[in-house]
Structure 1
Amino acid sequence: MAEPKKLERRGLGRGLSALMADVAADTTDTGGQRPAETLVPIEKIVPNPDQPRRSFTEEALAELTDSIRAKGVIQPLIVRRNPRREGTFEIVAGERRWRAAQRAQLHELPVIVRDFDDTEVLEVAIIENIQRADLNPVEEAAGYRQLMDRFGHTQERMAQALGKSRSHIANLLRLLTLPEDVIEMLRSGALTAGHARALVTADDPSGLAREIVRKGLSVREAEALAKRAKPKTSTSRVSQAPAKDADTRVLESDLAAALGMKVSIDHDEATGSGRLTVSYRSLDDLDDLCGRLSATGRPD
């Protein structure tokens, strides 16, 4: 197998469009050849364990399988040498093609081997799926969360590299603060991202989500339902606590998006002191939060 040329190290700062452009530039030359493409036995190709896409619909896989059975795999997979198992290749982009090719009983697949590090593998996997609208909102948000947790990327930096607005990324990350049953409804398509956004600040998002699904409410109707549900909060508590200003609410949302947990800020203007409350859903969430706090301030 011909050794592919080594690429210079790149980071998110260079932009994902540049990463994907590198691949595109290597797939064709002036003679229409593909010097970087090679055939690899299908059993030596393994999926990326950090692949943000978790749902592969049976109908779409069946259609792709039929196409591959008739015409073969037209677009090569992007892979890297598997750092966890010598002699194998890890998929960077193209897992759906790999799954369909297995069903079509192909023995070899065309691949382009790239020298990507862990960060670039995750970045390319996310951008490929986002560009093709293949990720559901939960998978997309989980991909952003991985980039933030594992590689320290900020929302602003991701927005620039992925060609998304910061508000789009922040809104998706807030969905991860919803209860698991609501997230599952979102993952399955029973709820849209618009429905789920209306539930982020609700007192009983699970109950409202079930009502939205049962009645088949539109996003506007869901927003109205969540708004009507807010007065259920104790009136005495409302009277005692002044309404939070816009800056505090934005800060709460940003912290919630960054941590993946519900955050509440109670600030006393008179004394300048206050209380920050982080709500976790499980011991795993608590362990993750403790790990982040203990890592803060460590030298690079």
Structure 2
Amino acid sequence: MAALIEDVLAEAERSGPGAPRSIHVEKPLELQLDLGNLTALDTNPLKAASFRQDPEQFLRSLARDNTQLLLNAVWQLPSERLEQTIVAKLPQPSTRIPREKALPKPRPPTRWEEFAKLKGIQKRKKSNLVWDKEKKEWRRRWGYKRANDQTKEWVIEVPESADPNEDQFTKRRTDKKERVAKNELNRLRNIARAQKNKVPGVGLAPTEQPSKAELSKAIRVAKTSTASVGKFQDKLPKEKEQRNTGKKRQFQPLVGDFSAERQKQLELLNIMYSKKPKLDLTRAVNRQLREDEQEQAAKRRKMQPRGRKGGKGHNRGRGQDRKSAMKQRGNRK
């Protein structure tokens, strides 16, 4: 027999320690609830006398009452039972919470996607199995043992427009290599277009000799376009180590464990609200020593006599002494 949540809470309050508390809380102003984010905003004025008397107990009581009102609103929402657990269906949040990271940018369309959009071509999914007329069975469209595999033919009909002395098997292998090279070139052009680099033309020889920087850039783009991002690519005989290839910025994952993100935000708040600023002892000692040296130099300049302040004044004093000595000698004679 299912019991009401109010009866369960009332029984827990009667059996628990301390004075019983009611689940019904009355306040002059109703809380502003955002059940989508499970938040509540209390706009009621604080009781200054109760807060001054016992701040910790007042805050505990206020938090308990607001939490009780929030839980009461949650239990009024439609709910369902999933694996012996009652789950409430939360509405859409009404408060916009700012994101820590920017929204991911959409991938730029390729040249074929732009052409298909312009012409109105819609992508249709093909089945993986195709009927093989020779083997009389369903086979894969691509890959090993595919249907209608032309490479397994032991004889090829020579077209009327072709050279009768030309090897059709060699021509077929050459055409396949050209198609693979063309697809690889188109793939590299799409990568260059996505990185907003200059896209070279097709079938046109370069009119100028490429510089060393352009060649190194082309090698770097070709290596990093592989599945391993160039990790397992062989080096050229005289190739130098690439510089500035590391990550410029490291971002936290958008989904997963939020403990690291919460710890980072708490450290940032502690730095912002800390009353005691951080003291650099080395810088403070050097500054104090510099000030002491300046004071001692100023005292020495004050105690130094005026005649010996500069070279000119000192020489002038010596010249006057020589003149007086010569006068005394003349008087003696």
Report the TM-score, using the length of structure 2 for normalisation: 0.19
More helix by proportion, 1 or 2?
1
Q: Which has the higher strand share?
A: 1
Whichever of the two has the greater Rg, that structure is 2
Q: TM-score, normalised by structure 1?
A: 0.20
